[in-house]
Structure 1
Amino acid sequence: MKIIAMIPARYGASRFPAKLMQDLAGKPVIVRTYEATVATNLFDAVYVVTDSTIIYEQIEKHGGQAIMSKKEHDCGSDRIAEAVEDMDIDIVINVQGDEPFTDKKSLSKLIEVFHNDPDKEIDLASLMVHITEEDEINNPNTVKVIVNNSQFALYFSRSPIPYPRDKNVNVKYFKHKGVYAFRKQAILDFYHLPMLPLEASEKIECIRYLEYGKRIKMVETDVLGVEIDTPEDLEHARKIWK
């Protein structure tokens, strides 16, 4: 199988503009993320796909591979789909540009899903983390996922799922980490299929796959990672780097 990583990188961000170009130990966050992804040695190639000439030039300046998007895109999956449409690949992994501490162990687990699926019954795989803090469970910025006994996703939501009507039932809550591994056809289907009401309501792009009957294998990881969404997150990342 030919497996590549794509890092979608948008310059603008509503909560923290230009966050990917912020300095992290002497290099921009997006460069740190790119280098960490390459350093896993899991991929045949790693690309940053972006709408920004600033990001494009920074990646090339540091010896990386970058692709400029030809169209405007609403989400990272669309940006990746356009980039891979004419590539000869089997699997593409979406690595988030704001996670400079890319975790090799978790990415290896995602890749293993496809090695163990000779009949190609799994369309995509993604990561989830067990969470216990009530504030996080109830936080709409934390996307939760519920799965069946085979670890296939049943639904994603910004609401607490399952709803704890019976407090005595010992259910586990899982946060969805936005790291995906796609079969090429699955992400191309996503790109060409229109958004349906559930996705539009929740503003969670992976719901589109469920609405169109795709199978999403969830993989549990214990690595929370550091997502740089705010200036406070950036300061936290700088302390970790030191």
Structure 2
Amino acid sequence: MKIISMIPARYSASRFPGKLMQDLGGKTVILRTYEATVNTQLFDDVFVVTDSTIIYDEIVNHGGKAIMSKKDHDCGSDRIAEAVEKMDIDIVINVQGDEPFTDKISLSKLIEVFKEDNEKQIDLASLMVHITDTDEINNPNTVKVIVDQSNFALYFSRSPIPFPREVEADVKYYKHKGVYAFRKEAILDFYNLPMLPLEASEKIECIRYLEYGKRIKMVETDVQGVEIDTPEDLERAKKLWK
């Protein structure tokens, strides 16, 4: 089984433009993420895939591997699909460029999902973290996920799900971490299928898989890390890095 990692990286992020080129402990955020992914030693290869010559040069000039997108893309999955279309691979793991604290244990759990899936019933796998903070549960920047008894995703939302109508009910809230592991066939299907209304409404790309009947296995991790979406996140990351 050939497994690679792709790190989609846009320069112009809506909430924090240029965030991937911000300094984090003497290196840029995107370089930190790339090095953390390589250092797990889990992958046959690791690439940054980007629409930015600035990010491309940052990776290549530091001895890394990068791919320039040929087309404009609305999401990271589309960017990755274009890059892997002609590659001889089985599994591709999408590590977000703004997650420099990517850890080996969580990625190993995703890879193990496919090694154990002899019947190939799982199209993709992703990570979730148990959250209890009310502000985080209600924050639309935090994507929540609900799962069935076998930890297959039922739905993702920026709203609090499930809605706490009955406060005594023993429910847990899970934050979706934007780290995905795809079978190559699944991500190519995603690339070729049009966006449907639920995905368009929530602006959560993994909803497209659910709308077309794909199965997403969620894997719980207790590693929170810091996703750098805002300048405030960057300051938290700097403190954590020290």
The TM-score range, normalised by the shorter chain, is over 0.9
The match for 1:235 is 235
Equivalent residue letter for 2:147: V
3-state SS, counterpart of residue 145 of structure 1: strand
For 1:133 and 1:240, locate their aligned partners in 2 and report how far apart those are by CA, in whole Å: 19
3-state SS, counterpart of residue 195 of structure 1: coil
How far does residue 119 in structure 1 lie from its aligned partner after superposition?
Answer: 1.0
For 2:84 and 2:60, locate their aligned partners in 1 and report how far apart those are by CA, in whole Å: 19
For 1:59 and 1:32, locate their aligned partners in 2 and report how far apart those are by CA, in whole Å: 10
The match for 1:185 is 185
3-state SS, counterpart of residue 210 of structure 2: helix
The match for 2:26 is 26
The TM-score, its normalising length taken from structure 2, stands at 0.98
130-139 or 61-70, which moves further after superposition?
130-139
3-state SS, counterpart of residue 239 of structure 1: helix
Q: Which runs of 5+ in 1 are unaligned?
A: none
The match for 1:73 is 73
The match for 1:47 is 47
The TM-score, its normalising length taken from structure 1, stands at 0.98
Identity of counterpart residues, as a percentage?
83
The match for 2:111 is 111
Q: Which runs of 5+ in 2 are unaligned?
A: none
For 1:136 and 1:234, locate their aligned partners in 2 and report how far apart those are by CA, in whole Å: 17
For residues 92-171 of structure 1, the aligned pairs below 5 Å read 92-171=92-171
The match for 1:5 is 5
How far does residue 126 in structure 1 lie from its aligned partner after superposition?
Answer: 0.3
For 1:48 and 1:167, locate their aligned partners in 2 and report how far apart those are by CA, in whole Å: 44
How far does residue 99 in structure 1 lie from its aligned partner after superposition?
Answer: 0.8
How far does residue 230 in structure 1 lie from its aligned partner after superposition?
Answer: 1.5
Deviations 1:34-66 (Å, cap 9, x if unpaired)? 001000000000000000001101100110000
3-state SS, counterpart of residue 185 of structure 1: helix
3-state SS, counterpart of residue 83 of structure 2: helix
Equivalent residue letter for 2:7: I
3-state SS, counterpart of residue 174 of structure 1: strand
Task: Name segments (4+ residues, structure 1) moved above 6 Å.
Answer: none
3-state SS, counterpart of residue 99 of structure 1: coil
3-state SS, counterpart of residue 227 of structure 2: coil
The match for 1:59 is 59
For 1:225 and 1:135, locate their aligned partners in 2 and report how far apart those are by CA, in whole Å: 17
For 1:15 and 1:24, locate their aligned partners in 2 and report how far apart those are by CA, in whole Å: 18
The size of the alignment, in residue pairs, is 242
Equivalent residue letter for 2:79: R
Equivalent residue letter for 2:80: I
For 2:99 and 2:80, locate their aligned partners in 1 and report how far apart those are by CA, in whole Å: 17
For 2:91 and 2:114, locate their aligned partners in 1 and report how far apart those are by CA, in whole Å: 8
For 1:146 and 1:232, locate their aligned partners in 2 and report how far apart those are by CA, in whole Å: 28
For 1:139 and 1:226, locate their aligned partners in 2 and report how far apart those are by CA, in whole Å: 15
Equivalent residue letter for 2:53: T
Equivalent residue letter for 2:116: N
For 1:153 and 1:237, locate their aligned partners in 2 and report how far apart those are by CA, in whole Å: 29
For 1:94 and 1:65, locate their aligned partners in 2 and report how far apart those are by CA, in whole Å: 15
For 2:30 and 2:211, locate their aligned partners in 1 and report how far apart those are by CA, in whole Å: 32
How far does residue 186 in structure 1 lie from its aligned partner after superposition?
Answer: 0.2
Deviations 1:102-128 (Å, cap 9, x if unpaired)? 111000000000000011110000000
3-state SS, counterpart of residue 156 of structure 2: strand
Equivalent residue letter for 2:197: P
How far does residue 170 in structure 1 lie from its aligned partner after superposition?
Answer: 0.8
1:224 aligns with 2:224: yes
